[in-house]
Structures are given as structure tokens and as C-alpha cells.
Structure 1
Amino acid sequence: MSRSLAGDVIARAQQSPDAGALVLGGAGDQVVTYAELAKTADRIGAELAARYPDTRRPLALQAAKSPAAIATVLACMHAGRPLLLASTDLGPQLLADLVGRSGCQAVLGLADGALTHRPAPGGPGAAPLLPPDTSLLLTTSGSTGTPKLVPLGGDGVDAFTSWAGSAFSLAAGVRVLNFAPLNFDLTLLDIWATLRHGGTVVPVDHDRFVDPAYLLGLLAATRPHVVQAVPMFFRLLTESNAGSDFPSVRDVLLTGDHVHRSVRAGLSGLFPAARFHNVYGCTETNDSMLHTFTAGEAADRDVLPLGSPLPGVLVEVLAGGEVLRGAGTGELLVSTPFQSSGYLGESGAEEKFTVRGDRTWYRTGDVVARSGSGELALVGRTDLQVKVRGVRINPEEVERVLQSHEGVAEAAVVAVPHPAAGNALHAFVRRSDDAVTGLQLRSYCAAKVNRAAIPAAFHLMTDPLPIGPTGKVSRRLLMEKIE
């Protein structure tokens, strides 16, 4: 139940009680020590034990990042109590659905550092059969439907945080920026691996995570050594930076989605002493592949390769139902030591998680291209593919073409039902050059993509494209802009 992780954090509190576990505030002037974090976890653990003696039934936590929220997760890990981490952006109906499907006893929250308790909506239902080693319950984004529940086993969490500590030299005195919300799987590295190895977490304030002045000030004040974030974070920095650099940063991890080349080109100026890493993974599997790249490669390549599998990870490419042995394009399958055993309470999960021999493989839904040398590059998603005039199109491929235009800062493409064509593609583009027109972009696409993949409409934007809770562009919000 991730007791090794929790036990290691508590042992740190005993060995180095005054060491900083968390650094808070825009000026980095508020330090929570390991002793204080462990004391809060002990208090919360005692409260939960008295109120919910059945540690086999999960609880849900819906709270923004804070010392008390992190201590609550730690307390549940230490007690071997499964915990559903729910996004603060979930509405009441969706939260009730997830709580009911996971059989949670109650929904925990935080107010002024104290726990709040809400009964499970509709009362506690019949508890589903959790995998016996379940530590955390995460959810998928729900971008292609209702979010799925992803149980993560304690052994997998322990294995991943052990690897991350070794891979990025996490140790006492190492400061790691935490951009992701508490319910996001990225926190397994930037919060939990950091704490397990005695480092210091620098959490980004949830209410200010899109404020570039705050982010630049936080980096300057806290001088982190490791920075992991989704593309939006790096775009905000590169577009807003006025010549500042952060030489304390030695490792920069890009994850969550494709990072535009124009953004990557600015990374070496921001982080002159850093190694750069492209990290690939899914909520269901955690990180699977890693590619370390230079500043020159960051600026020159349109798409970065996914890299090499992590230790113990196997990858395959499936094309036409057969394993692809040479160059070609197909769906990526992975098998990792860190992955979930399957979705909780979902029918048809066996289509995504398949067992062969002693390994469980996960069908990622990501389409990749493999070169003759074996290098893998992400192409798009199988579940985003649409047909336009009978031709199968991946909108993400069109997005990447648009993003390669030197006058484009951001681009996203959505498919809208059309009575004649089946679907029509709409491109939303934020320009870096106001002289760029929709006609120019149409001509640019015509030279690079199939005729059916040329967007039917170009929406030229002045503001950044809308984002969802994980920092990725929200296609749902873009669809609402189409009249």
C-alpha cells in the first residue's frame, strides 16, 4: 500500500526533522519541515482511524495542493488506506459518480488546514473489489468520455518513486518544482519521489498557475534543481520572460503533450545549465519512455522522439492486429512495472489491458511512427481520428503542421459533424505574427497534408487557447466557440 514510500518519508522526519519538505509562498519564504509534515500526517491519520476504522474501503480527497492535503495523502499511504484523488474542478454530479463507482466511504476536504467530511453522495454503495495492493485511485481526463478510475498499486508506486529518485538524483537539499495538481500522476515524481528521497518540494499555487510573473518569481526565489511540467508552463515562461535565466535548474522534464518547437527553442535561454528530457507516459502506466536531448535538438526538430524504455519497460507497435517489426505506423503498447492492473468497475477493460505470458500490456491509444532505426515519434490518438469525405484523418497531425509555421504560436484542430463531408475540421490558431492570414495557413497546409485534412475554417485568436485542468488545450471549450 505504498508503505515503503510513506515509511521512508516518516523516517526522514525522524532523521532530519528540521530539513525542508515543502517551500511555499511566491518568495519561497515559508518552509514546512519534515517533522511538521509528519506531525500533521500523524494527526490526520488518527482522525481518520477514529472515524473510518475500515481501512479496506477507500476515501476520496478533493482539495487543492497544501501541506495538509499532502499530509492527508501521506497518512492514508501509511495506514494502507486506498485514496481517490479527485480534481477540484469536478462538478458535484461527476464527483458523485466517481465516488459511487469506487465505493468511497466519504469525501474529504480541507478548510483552514482542518479536514472536512462529506458523506458519500447517495450513501455508501456496494464497494467494488479493489486490487489488494491499491494505494491511490487516479482518474483519466475524461476528454473522450466519462473519466475512468485507475487504481495504482503500492508496489508500483514504490517502484516508480525508487526509479525517479535514482534517475534524477533526488536527495536531501534537492529542490523540485511541482506544477501539477495533486490528483495528477506527475506528482508521483515531483512530490512523492522527492519526499521519499529527502528532497524539498516547491509547489506552484493552484490559483496562480497561469500567472507568468508569479511563475518566474517563484523560480527566481526558490532556485529549484528539477523542473517538471506540461507544455503550457514552458510556453508561459518563454513568451513572458524578459531575459531572466535560472542556472540552478539541472534537469527539465517536458511531459503531458507535444511541446511546440518555438517553445523548446527558448528553453536553453531560461535554463542554461539544464539537461532536457522528453518524458512519455499515461495515467494507466506512469512514465514509460525517456528521451534526453540537447538545446540544438530542441530547436531543430519538429517532433521529439519518445526515447528509450525505462528499466523494466517493454514497448511494441501494433499495426493491423500484428506486431510491427520494422518501420511503419501503428498503436503503441507498453508494459511497465508501475502500471495499473486495469480500470475499476469498467466493462471492456480487457480491450485496453491484455495479458500475454507473465506481462500485462496496455494499449495506449497513441499512434506512433517508427523509423528504420527504431526511433518512435508520437503521431496522434486513435480515439481522435475522424473521417472527412471518407478519408481517415488525425487532427493532431494537422495541428503539428500548423504549429510548424513560423507565424503560429499555438494551434488546435477539432472535428465538427458536417452533413455532406461527415466531419469538417476547424483550426484555432493563435498567431505570433499578426500578418499571418487564414488564406496563408490554408496554402501552408495544402502543401503538407492530404486535401481532406485541410481545415474548412480557420479561427484566428489573439488570446491563448483555452485549457483544461491538466494544462492541455480543451477541445470541448473550443467546440463551444463554433457557431
Structure 2
Amino acid sequence: MPQTAEHALYERFLRGLALSPRLPAMRVGADVLTYEEACERALRQAGALLAASPSPPRAVCVLAERGFSAYVGILAALFTGAAVVPLQPDFPALRTRRMLEDAGVSIVVADARGKAALAEAGLDLAVLDADRSPAAGVALDAPQPVDAGDVAYILFTSGSTGRPKGVPITHGSTHHYFQLMDKRYDFAPDDVFSQILDLNFDCAMFELFCAWGAGASALAVPPIAYQDLPKFINESGITVWFSTPSAITLVRRMSGLAPGTMPGLRWSFFAGEALRCSDAADWQAAAPGSHVENLYGPTELTITISRHRWDPETSPRLGVNGIVPIGTLHDGHDRLLLADEEQEHPAEGELCITGPQMSRGYLDPGDDKGRFLERYGRIWYRTGDRVRLLPGGDLAYLGRLDSQVQVQGWRVELAEVDHAVRACEGVEEAVTVTRETARGLELVVFYTGDSSLTAAALARQVRTVLPAGMLPKEYRHVEVMPLNRNRKIDRGRLARVAATG
């Protein structure tokens, strides 16, 4: 196969192909696709995609469930030189339609569920059946060349107007990112990576392309695995784990966090929401041979932009409100902290970042307002996250700007209330939301743990650490916290429940 430019995202897979041609690139249940088999399928699909398009496509959507069809589809889309747009078949039809239109998708790789979703969206687009292998005669000899500034993939984040915002990420940005990953981690061909995150979630790119860049295999983790996760991890040989922190709570509920239950893990990564120190400590005890890292980064900054490696001795002292620090920024990036719209602060404020991993803006330039700012002759991305610079140089996560609310004249950080309730005896997890009432804004706490705890008992304990103006109005017990598609706690759903009284 002819040599390709090293900055191309698909070059990660070709590296794995050279290292491990006959080893599994991807595993789904007991089935495997070797690097050679996956490459052959992807080249055929890429050729079929180009043959079915009157002109080279700008964006190719992969509309399929996690599995071989989606994984090979992502490679095929990249091999055409187009941007890949991974979407979920069970998205609402109107949302799917809007994202396809905004991304400029002209052709879709779809499995059976994806084809049904596309029909429901009502768009007349060319479709390549992901479950059928195209004829060998259309196969490409090699992936199409791309420039560093070309878009590798487009992901969508929620928009304040209700319309998702498209985030284009270039091959150059992913190249910088994965170069840093290669330097930092010792991933190898005998590693097995968990692949648990939905493919429209940017951290899924870490799972796939870190694995493929090392010649390792990515294993699709089914939801049923959580019933006994240590058993699943041990039997399937997973050595690299990646999930949201909410997974730790779920594993704990299934009695899976006993010390030493996951001895084969070498690396454990958590991202997507705040990681609690208590959760990191319990996971570390269950996986004593694993490095545990807290990764942080908005989609606009290419997967993750900072990291903190958990240390049982020092990390708990660095955490604020019981949350593991998000650590230090990746090489090549700069930060500034905004105390308000104009003034910078040396130690605490909204985190703004610039550097080679930053997206150049949203698909709709109108969405850039308020999220990108110009200062010192450079463009910076405003994360919307409040952080504090710690003495050793790490950044402590304080919460979202929009999680700081005014209650009866008090400025309240919801994360601080969460921390206070979690410290109560019998409480496992706590999430604070707000609701509007005729009396003004009120705080409502949802918690898991001992269902016999009374609201009065919780209020007495919380009152010892929080001033009166920050006290929740109501405490509601739930068996489990609701999770969204990306397995983060669904705070929006809790807020809607709280609003119903």
C-alpha cells in the first residue's frame, strides 16, 4: 500500500495494520476482524462510496450501532478523504435531519437500524449498506490523500437554541493529539481496549485510534457487562479501560469494586464529567496494577486537553469539593482565566485555551459568538468551566459557569452542595438542581444510598457545613441516577423531575 501522510487520522489504523496484520483490530462478542480483514472491507466501502457519489463527498455519515459496521464505516469514510460524521440511529428524526443537513452529508453508511432512522428523517441521500460487502472491483488501492487542515470528523454538541452545534476537527488537530498520547502511554499490540462510548462522543476516538495506532484491539463492551464488570474485564482480557465516572457508581452498585477484582487492567481513563476522589480511590483499589487518570476536554479542543494521574497520597489533598483535579494542559497549549467578561485573574476563573487542538470554529459561524474570543492577537476557546490554579500547577475543576446560581441573594456553586450532601452518612451520590417557584429559585437534591434517610436527618447534617442561604429546599431519594446516552448523569432530566414538584 502506498505511503500516506502521517498527519492523516486513518494513518493510525495503517500503523496498526503494519504492526499486527493478522491480529484482531476489533472484537464484538466472540467475533473478530483482523487488521487485514478490516482494511480490505474499508477499502471496498471507500471505493463504493466514491463510485456512488457524482463528486468526491465532503462529509460521509456513519449511521450505525456500535460494532463492525460502524467501525469499518468510520475507516471507509476517512479513506475517501471526506469528513466522517458518526450519528446514532436512535436520535430523534428531526435532530438527525438537522445534523445531516448542517454537516453537508451527501452519502450515508448505514446498518439496518440506520437505514430506518434515515427514512424517518425524510432525507433523500445516497446510502451504502454497511452490512453488505461491495464488489472487490470498486476497492481503493489506498486511502485518498488529505491535508492537515482538512476536516477528519464532525461531532455535534448541544446548542443553547436547541439546535446542535457542529464541531469540525481537522487531521492536524488529531495528529497533534495522538502524538502526545503515543509519548505518554505504552500501549502495545497485546493490549485490549474497551470500546464502550457511543461513536458520536469524541472520547470514542481515543478508544479506537489509540488502540489502532498501537496495533491493539478495540472490544465493544455490551451494557450487560456491567452486571459483573470485573468478570467481563478479566475473561475478555481488557487492559485499557475508558468510561465516564458514572460507570464507577454503577459497578459499585453491582458489588464489583472489591479490592483486587480487576488485576489485569494497566490503564484506566475517565472523562466526560467530574471524577470524585472517592471513586478514583475505589477504582484504584479494585485495579491495583492500573494507572488511573482523569482526562478533561471539550469537543472543541479535540477529545481531551489535560490530564491528572491519580496518586492516593497527593491527589485527595489537591481535590476541591472532593473532585479529582483536571491536571495540566497538553504541550503546545496556553490558557488564561477570566474572572468576568473582560478581566483576567491569575488563579481562578473561566478556563480559556488556545493551541493546535482547538477547532477553528463551528459549522455555523453564528454559533462562535460567546464561545471564541480574540486576545493578544490569538483566538481562544471559552470552555465555560471554572477552574482554580493549584500551587503545583494543576488545575482544579470548580464546576460549570452555568452551575453557579443565585438563590435568595446567595451565590451558590451546585458542586459545593453536591459535595456537602455526599459527605452525609448513608449517601452514595448526590446531584443538586434548581427549580423556579413563586418564591424564587430553590435547590433540590437527588441522592442515592440509604433509602431510610429522612430529609430532616440530611438537612441537619448539611446545615453543619453550609450556610442557611445555600441549603436545599428538598431532598429526593432515587435508586439510581438517570444516565444519558453518553453515560453521564442526566441533570436535565433530574431538573425536569424537580420542576414537577
TM-score by length of structure 2 reads 0.85
For this pair of structures, how many residues does the alignment match? 466
1:245–1:296 Cα change, 3 Å: farther
1:324 maps to which residue?
345
**Contact persistence 1:109–1:116 (CA under 8 A):** no
2:241 maps to which residue?
227
**Contact persistence 1:68–1:114 (CA under 8 A):** no
Alignment partner of 1:83 is 2:84:
yes
Question: Counterpart of 1:55 in 2: which secondary structure?
Answer: coil
1:217-258 Cα shifts (integer Å, max 9, x gaps): 320112222211101222222332354622221111121112
* Partners of 1:479 and 1:113 in 2: CA distance: 31
2:474 maps to which residue?
457
Question: Counterpart of 2:9 in 1: which secondary structure?
Answer: helix
Letter of the 1:430 counterpart: T
1:74-93 Cα shifts (integer Å, max 9, x gaps): 11112211122223442001
1:481–1:289 Cα change, 3 Å: same
Deviation, 1:155, is 1.0
* Partners of 1:418 and 1:356 in 2: CA distance: 40
Deviation, 1:270, is 1.6
1:54-90 Cα shifts (integer Å, max 9, x gaps): 3343232222211121111111112211122223442
Alignment partner of 1:385 is 2:385:
no
Deviation, 1:291, is 0.9
Question: Counterpart of 1:471 in 2: which secondary structure?
Answer: coil
2:128 maps to which residue?
none
**Contact persistence 1:106–1:117 (CA under 8 A):** no
1:467 maps to which residue?
483
* Partners of 2:118 and 2:247 in 1: CA distance: 33
1:216 maps to which residue?
230
1:184-237 Cα shifts (integer Å, max 9, x gaps): 1112211112112211112212xx26x522533320112222211101222222
1:329-362 Cα shifts (integer Å, max 9, x gaps): 3111112422211111141514212244564311
1:176 maps to which residue?
193
Alignment partner of 1:270 is 2:259:
no
* Partners of 2:446 and 2:6 in 1: CA distance: 43
Deviation, 1:164, is 1.5
1:298–1:204 Cα change, 3 Å: farther
* Partners of 2:493 and 2:20 in 1: CA distance: 47
Question: Counterpart of 1:176 in 2: which secondary structure?
Answer: strand
Deviation, 1:451, is 2.6
Greater mean deviation of Cα atoms: 96-105 or 391-400: 391-400
> Which residue, 142, 156, 162 being the options, matches 1:139?
156
Deviation, 1:322, is 2.1
> Which residue, 224, 241, 247 being the options, matches 2:255?
241
**Contact persistence 2:351–2:382 (CA under 8 A):** yes
1:115–1:481 Cα change, 3 Å: closer
1:6 maps to which residue?
10
Unaligned runs of 5+ in 2: 126-147
Unaligned runs of 5+ in 1: 125-130
TM-align CA RMSD: 2.8
* Partners of 1:445 and 1:410 in 2: CA distance: 14
Deviation, 1:113, is 11
**Contact persistence 2:154–2:169 (CA under 8 A):** yes
2:43 maps to which residue?
42
1:128 maps to which residue?
none
1:306 maps to which residue?
326
Deviation, 1:315, is 2.0
1:330–1:14 Cα change, 3 Å: closer
Deviation, 1:33, is 0.5
The residue correspondences of 1:412-451 to structure 2 (distance < 5 A) are 412-421=431-440, 423-431=441-449, 433-451=450-468
2:144 maps to which residue?
none
TM-score by length of structure 1 reads 0.88
Greater mean deviation of Cα atoms: 385-394 or 468-477: 385-394
The residue correspondences of 1:99-114 to structure 2 (distance < 5 A) are 99-111=100-112
**Contact persistence 1:162–1:193 (CA under 8 A):** no
1:372–1:274 Cα change, 3 Å: closer
1:255 maps to which residue?
271
Greater mean deviation of Cα atoms: 268-277 or 352-361: 352-361
Alignment partner of 1:19 is 2:37:
no
1:137–1:2 Cα change, 3 Å: farther
Question: Counterpart of 2:56 in 1: which secondary structure?
Answer: coil
Letter of the 1:470 counterpart: N
**Contact persistence 2:28–2:68 (CA under 8 A):** no
1:415–1:112 Cα change, 3 Å: closer
Deviation, 1:406, is 3.9
Letter of the 1:227 counterpart: W
* Partners of 1:115 and 1:40 in 2: CA distance: 23
**Contact persistence 2:430–2:447 (CA under 8 A):** yes
**Contact persistence 2:15–2:215 (CA under 8 A):** no
1:403–1:367 Cα change, 3 Å: same
Deviation, 1:468, is 0.6
* Partners of 2:216 and 2:79 in 1: CA distance: 19
Deviation, 1:458, is 0.8
1:413-468 Cα shifts (integer Å, max 9, x gaps): 111111222x111111112x34432122223332333433211111112x211111
**Contact persistence 1:314–1:336 (CA under 8 A):** yes
Question: Counterpart of 2:96 in 1: which secondary structure?
Answer: helix
1:53–1:171 Cα change, 3 Å: farther
Deviation, 1:372, is 4.9
Alignment partner of 1:187 is 2:235:
no
Letter of the 1:6 counterpart: Y
* Partners of 2:415 and 2:324 in 1: CA distance: 15
* Partners of 1:120 and 1:426 in 2: CA distance: 37
2:32 maps to which residue?
31
**Contact persistence 2:198–2:204 (CA under 8 A):** yes
* Partners of 1:177 and 1:117 in 2: CA distance: 29
**Contact persistence 1:184–1:470 (CA under 8 A):** yes
1:376–1:309 Cα change, 3 Å: same
1:197 maps to which residue?
214
**Contact persistence 1:105–1:119 (CA under 8 A):** no
* Partners of 1:2 and 1:391 in 2: CA distance: 53
